[in-house]
């Protein structure tokens, strides 16, 4: 498998430039910088063209998403398109708060590339992920988690998988990792490798650039209730999707 690399970086996030340089130095494949879409700079016409809140996909997403989350989604779409445009079999996509273990990560990538196909999507999560064993090689396990995780810190994405995700995300109603969970919408199996050799360093680089802050206590309680209900709905969605796809439930 021939792979290229991309790191999504918001130009005004100056505190993350060191991370970008480290990723380019430590990645086992050449890494180009993708200029992230700045959600704060998007005009209303662009927002209306891509974001349709609440009623686009099932299960219904109960929250409005921020301009930063919209920009993040569009940035990942740029990375998926870049994979296709590169002509490579797969693309290694990083967010710019990722820190790599110089010993573990390159070997994890090598193990995955030696097995995956152009239709596969394999995540390198910042925390251990349990799941059904799909493949094992050189001390690394590729697993299928019961529920796809919600972080997109680093992924190896086959070119066919990138094209599939682009086709179903021209409009969206939730953050990008939320759509990745919707197996019934995307038809894309999500796998994870363990150990990954990846951790995030969000706090050290000034915190997230996309999430809202300062929510009142009553709002936090309501959001927690809606989040729990949504997680139950996602669990049911994934189980139903796997049953339809003839996969393990």
35-54 residue pLDDT tens:
999 999 999 999 999 999 98
Distance CA 116, CA 158 (A): 8
Dihedral pair phi/psi, residue 200, rounded to 5°: -100, 160
**What are residue 139's DSSP bridge partners?**
none
Q: Which of 118, 141, 171 is nearest to 2 (CA)?
A: 118
pLDDT of residue 222: 66
> 3-212 in CATH: which number?
3.90.550.10
Using 50, 70 and 90 to split pLDDT, how confident is the model at 210?
Answer: low
117-141 residue pLDDT tens:
999 999 999 999 999 999 999 999 9
pLDDT of residue 104: 97
Residue 22 in this model has a pLDDT that exceeds 80: yes
pLDDT of residue 191: 98
pLDDT of residue 249: 39
Domain positions in the chain are 3-212
Distance CA 220, CA 130 (A): 29
pLDDT of residue 214: 52
Distance CA 188, CA 186 (A): 5
Q: Residue 50, exposed/middle/buried by CB under 10 A (0-12, 13-18, 19+)?
A: middle
pLDDT of residue 134: 97
pLDDT of residue 219: 53
Sequence-separated (6 or more) residues with CB below 8 Å from residue 205:
13, 15, 16, 19, 97
Taking CA atoms, 33 is separated from 54, 121, 186, 240, in Å, by 32, 20, 26, 38
Q: What sign does the dihedral 180-78-92-98 (CA atoms) show?
A: negative
Do the strands 121-123 and 191-194 form a parallel or antiparallel pair, or are they unpaired?
A: parallel
DSSP letter at 137 equals E
């Amino acid at each position: 498998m021939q792979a290229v690399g991309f790191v999504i970086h918001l130009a005004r996030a100056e505190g993350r430039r060191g991370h970008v340089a480290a990723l380019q130095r430590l990645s086992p494949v050449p890494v180009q910088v993708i200029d992230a879409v700045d959600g704060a700079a998007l005009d209303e016409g662009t927002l209306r063209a891509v974001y349709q809140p609440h009623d686009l996909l099932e299960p219904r997403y109960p929250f409005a998403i921020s301009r930063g989350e919209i920009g993040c989604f569009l940035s990942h779409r740029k990375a998926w398109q870049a994979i296709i445009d590169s002509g490579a079999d797969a693309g290694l996509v990083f967010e710019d708060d990722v820190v790599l273990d110089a010993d573990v990560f390159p070997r994890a990538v090598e193990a995955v590339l030696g097995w995956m196909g152009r239709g596969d999507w394999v995540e390198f999560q910042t925390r251990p992920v349990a799941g059904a064993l799909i493949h094992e090689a050189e001390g690394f396990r590729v697993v299928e988690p019961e529920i796809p995780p919600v972080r997109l810190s680093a992924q190896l994405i086959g070119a066919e998988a990138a094209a599939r995700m682009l086709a179903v995300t021209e409009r969206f109603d939730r953050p990008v990792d939320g759509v990745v969970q919707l197996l019934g919408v995307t038809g894309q199996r999500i796998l994870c490798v363990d150990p990954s050799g990846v951790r995030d360093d969000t706090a050290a680089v000034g915190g997230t650039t996309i999430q809202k802050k300062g929510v009142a206590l009553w709002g936090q309680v309501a959001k927690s209730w809606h989040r729990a209900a949504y997680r139950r709905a996602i669990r049911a969605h994934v189980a139903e999707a796997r049953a339809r796809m003839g996969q393990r439930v």
